[in-house]
Amino acid sequence: MLRFKCHGRNLFYDRRFDTGPAEETYDLKLGFPSSHTIAIAAAKPGVDILDIGCGRGYVAEELAGIARHVTGIDRFAPTHSNRPNVDYLQWDLEAANLPVDASQFDQIYLLDIVEHLKDPEIFMETLRGSISGRRAEIVMTTPNVAFIVTRLMLLFGHFNYGRKGILDRTHTRLFTLQSLRELLDQTGYEVLEIKGVPAPFPRVLGDGFASRVMLALNQALIMAGRGLFAYQIFIRARARPTVENLLHETETGSAALKRPPR
Amino acid sequence: MLLKPDSRILIFVVAYNAGKTLASVLDRIPPELRGRNVEVLVIDDFSQDNTFSVGLAYENSAADFPIRMLRTPENQGYGGNQKLGYRYAIEHGFDIVALLHGDGQYAPEQLPALLEPLLRGEADAVFGSRMLNKTDARRGGMPLYKWLGNQVLTGFENRMLGTRLSEFHSGYRLYSVEALRQIPFERNSNGFHFDTEIIVQLVQRKLRIFELPIPTYYGDEICHVS
């Protein structure tokens, strides 16, 4: 029974109790400090946003209330939106190329995507190569594998995947705040902002007093040590131009400087 | 015997606030290198002085060999500027690229000697070293604390890499462009760590680094390359 309860809370995974359908997209987490509320707050008004791995479009629809236009791409993307400034395209994370020209966007969202990639380094480098002309901003969230509960469980010999959570069975790569920063730094991005996100207590404890107290406590602990107490990591970064693009920009700019003024 | 006498050579000058010294550096490029498959590229790393206009005057008037002056759209740093120059050398089909500093820290007169191992096909990179003859640097005016620090650090770095370089921190470098193509130098730091990172990459790829002595000048110690 205890194992069943722990399986239900995603603390353990037990295949005997995996009887429901596979959940391949995430629910929207609004109304409390979450990766979704923080990510939506980071949207810039009047810009064009690309939501890579948009799932069923829950966040994309919220972003559309702020942005000029949102394009969502995902295997499970809806066929259309009721909002006039949202478009969806079917796209698989495993595909080599994006179905859109990433250089057309001002912000590119990667919410809970990087942990599903086989090779985040190649993905981020390829993305950078295609967007560096416009210096697009990346908005990214991913679970923090160094979260205190995960650390303590590992200390006692447990590294238990579950249907959801930090150790979701479908997560292929896991990051700490430091290793995520290094991923971006080493694939050619300048990190602008990094924040710790509290655990989604309302999803586990219900939307009541207990979950609000736990949220407040988690947020206070994050201020003391986000590497230890952040459940998820939120990061904003800007792609540095590739050397090739920067050289061409330098040559073009220099030619303009050499032209005599009219 | 020179195996590669027809090599196309790029003399690449990194310049930052080098308005007072750039002309002298360009004038000091030895005559035997002028007009012999040799071109000069100066990249002004968004200087705040007249570096660009000094270099532009040379671009417009240099009759004996081509000089190209570029200015970055924003400051890239010492490593960032090098990345641009090496990418330029690769894209424009050069065989060898020689790095000079626009502040005159390294003597352009040494270029022919430093080029020899590359032209003979005996090296993939040549470093001018101030420490090959250990007492030269001290005789040249290097303070003792710097000399000692350099020796300790170099010993540690050699142990870590399994190399026997006399120093890791000279900026007087020449590279075979073919060697540069084999290493991901574009992933390196945009700052001064670039110079150490590229050594690690060369060693990892088992590329041949050759050192030759260069004189040390400890007069005006202001280094202007970033």
Q: Tens digit of pLDDT for each residue in B61-75?
A: 876 779 999 999 999
The contacts of residue A29 (CB under 8 Å, 6+ apart) are A35, A36, A37, A200, A202, A203
R_g over Cα of chain B: 17
Q: What is the mean pLDDT of residues B116-121?
A: 94
How many residues comprise chain B?
226
Please answer yes or no on whether A244 and B69 come within 8 Å at the CB atom: no
Among the listed ranges A52-66, B26-40, B90-104, which one has the minimum average pLDDT value? Answer: B26-40
Cα dihedral B97→B122→B162→B205 (10° resolution) = 60
Per-residue confidence band for B220, with pLDDT thresholds at 50, 70 and 90: very low
Interface test with A, best of B42, B72, B82 (most A CBs within 10 A): B72
B19 within some domain: yes
Question: What total number of domains does chain B contain?
Answer: 1
Burial A196-217 (b: 16+ CB within 10 A, else e): bbbbbbbeebeeeeebeebbee
Does residue B86 contact residue B182 with C-beta atoms inside 8 Å?
Answer: no
Counting Cα atoms < 13 Å in the Cβ hemisphere of B130 gives: 23
Please answer yes or no on whether B84 and A250 come within 8 Å at the CB atom: yes
Please answer yes or no on whether B73 and A253 come within 8 Å at the CB atom: yes
Q: Which residues 141-180 of chain B have a CB within 8 Å of chain A?
A: none
The confidence score (pLDDT) of residue B2 equals 55
- Report the chain A residue with the minimal C-alpha distance to residue B188: A186
- Chain A within 8 Å of B76 (Cβ-Cβ)? yes
- Give the CA distances from residue A90 to residues A26, A154, A195, B13, in Å, rounded to whole numbers and listed in that order: 17, 38, 31, 49
Per-residue confidence band for B135, with pLDDT thresholds at 50, 70 and 90: low
Q: What is the mean pLDDT of residues B11-34?
A: 94
Strand order in the sheet with A137-143: A86-90, A69-74, A48-52, A107-111, A137-143, A232-239, A189-197
Nearest to A93 by CA among A37, A39, A168, A172: A172
Q: What six digits make up the tokens of B26?
A: 């360009």
The confidence score (pLDDT) of residue A12 equals 55
> Structural domain of residue B198, as residue ranges?
9-213
Per-residue confidence band for A218, with pLDDT thresholds at 50, 70 and 90: very high
* B113: helix, strand or coil: helix
The confidence score (pLDDT) of residue A9 equals 57
Q: What six digits make up the tokens of B174?
A: 């020449």
Per-residue confidence band for A164, with pLDDT thresholds at 50, 70 and 90: confident
- Report the chain A residue with the minimal C-alpha distance to residue B71: A254
Which residues in chain A are contacts of B84 at CB distance < 8 A? 243, 246-247, 250
Which residues in chain A are contacts of B52 at CB distance < 8 A? 257
Which residues in chain B are contacts of A251 at CB distance < 8 A? 70
Please answer yes or no on whether A250 and B70 come within 8 Å at the CB atom: yes
The confidence score (pLDDT) of residue A26 equals 62
> In the predicted model, is pLDDT for residue B178 greater than 90?
yes
> In the predicted model, is pLDDT for residue A2 greater than 90?
no
Interatomic CA distance for residues B127 and B41, integer angstroms: 20
CA angle B32, B36, B37 (to 5 degrees): 140
Choose the closest CB to A249 out of B69, B73, B83: B73
Q: Which residues 43-62 of chain B have a CB within 8 Å of chain A?
A: 43, 52, 56
In the DSSP assignment, the letter for residue B226 is -
DSSP string, chain A: -HHHHHHHTTSS--GGG--S----SPPP--SSS-HHHHHHHTPPTT-EEEEET-TTSHHHHHHTTTSSEEEEEETT--S--SSTTEEEEE--TTSSS-SS-GGG-SEEEEET-GGG-S-HHHHHHHHHHHHTTTTPEEEEEEEBTT-HHHHHHHHTT----BSSSTTBTT----B-HHHHHHHHHHTTEEEEEEEEE---HHHHH-SSHHHHHHHHHHHHHHHH-HHHH-SEEEEEEEEPPPHHHHHHHHHHHHHHHHSPP-
Q: What percent of chain A has pLDDT over 90?
A: 63
pLDDT tens for A5-49 read 655 655 555 666 666 565 555 677 787 888 999 999 999 999 999
The confidence score (pLDDT) of residue B221 equals 45
The contacts of residue A152 (CB under 8 Å, 6+ apart) are none
Give B93→chain A minimum CA distance, Å. Answer: 15
The confidence score (pLDDT) of residue A253 equals 95
Does residue A225 contact residue A146 with C-beta atoms inside 8 Å?
Answer: no
B118 within some domain: yes
CATH number at residue B198: 3.90.550.10
B221 within some domain: no
Interatomic CA distance for residues B133 and B113, integer angstroms: 16
- ipTM for the predicted complex: 0.89
The confidence score (pLDDT) of residue A74 equals 92
Q: What is the mean pLDDT of residues B152-173?
A: 91
Q: What is the mean pLDDT of chain B?
A: 89
B179 within some domain: yes
Cα dihedral B98→B102→B105→B111 (10° resolution) = 30
B28 within some domain: yes
B160 within some domain: yes
Per-residue confidence band for A202, with pLDDT thresholds at 50, 70 and 90: confident
In the DSSP assignment, the letter for residue B166 is S
Burial A145-161 (b: 16+ CB within 10 A, else e): bbbbebeebeeeeeebe
Tally C-beta pairs within 8 A across A and B.
34
Does residue A160 contact residue A13 with C-beta atoms inside 8 Å?
Answer: yes
Q: What six digits make up the tokens of A184?
A: 């971006």
- Report the chain A residue with the minimal C-alpha distance to residue B88: A247
Return left, alpha or beta for B84; rule: phi > 0 is left, psi -120 to 50 is alpha, else beta: alpha
- Chain A within 8 Å of B101 (Cβ-Cβ)? no
The confidence score (pLDDT) of residue B140 equals 64
Q: Mind listing the domains of chain A with CATH numbers?
A: 28-241 (3.40.50.150)
Please answer yes or no on whether B84 and A243 come within 8 Å at the CB atom: yes
B145 within some domain: yes
> In the predicted model, is pLDDT for residue B80 greater than 60?
yes
The confidence score (pLDDT) of residue B43 equals 98
> In the predicted model, is pLDDT for residue B111 greater than 60?
yes
Interface test with A, best of B186, B194, B197, B198 (most A CBs within 10 A): B186
B66 within some domain: yes
Q: What is the mean pLDDT of residues B144-164?
A: 88
Residue type, B184: P
Interatomic CA distance for residues A121 and A188, integer angstroms: 10
The confidence score (pLDDT) of residue A38 equals 94
Comparing B134 with A217, the larger pLDDT belongs to A217
Give A24→chain B minimum CA distance, Å. Answer: 35
